[in-house]
Structure 1
C-alpha cells in the first residue's frame, strides 16, 4: 500500500491510539477486475472483510499500534486510464 491509501490509514491509527476517539476509516470497495488492475503484487480480496483483515495486519505490523478503529467500505470504481478511485 502506498500514497493516498497509506496516509489516511496511518492517521486513523494515530487518532485512535489513545482510545478517547471513535475513528472510522472509509475505504472504497473495488470489483475484482478493478482490484487486479490497481493493486500491486496480484493482491486481491474476495470480500470487504478479507480486505479489512489484510489492512489491520498491515498497519499493526508497521506501527505496532492496535487497530482500534472502525473500517467501512463503499462501492468504488476507477477511471481506467488514470487509476483514480472515485
Structure 2
C-alpha cells in the first residue's frame, strides 16, 4: 500500500497527534510510555485493508491480528475477546 508517506508518519498521525489534539481526554494514551494505557494494534502492513464503508460501517479490516486495550487482548484473529473500551470524550 502506497499512500505517499512513511509508515512511521502514518502511525504518528493516528496515535500521538490525536492524543495531543484531544488534551485532557487522551492524556493517558497516544504513546507507549510508562504510566500510560497500553493500547496497541498489531497488524501486517502488507495485508492491511479497510473493509468498512458508509453503507456498511461494521466491517473488520483485513490484516489486523490483535488489538490490546490497556494491556488486555480484546480482538484476536477476527474475534472479539474481551470488553470493549470506554468512549473518549473531549471536553474542550
Q: Structure 1 length normalisation: TM-score?
A: 0.28
Q: Which has the higher contact order (CA 8 A, sep 6+)?
A: 1
Higher helix share: 1
Q: Structure 2 length normalisation: TM-score?
A: 0.27
Larger radius of gyration: 2
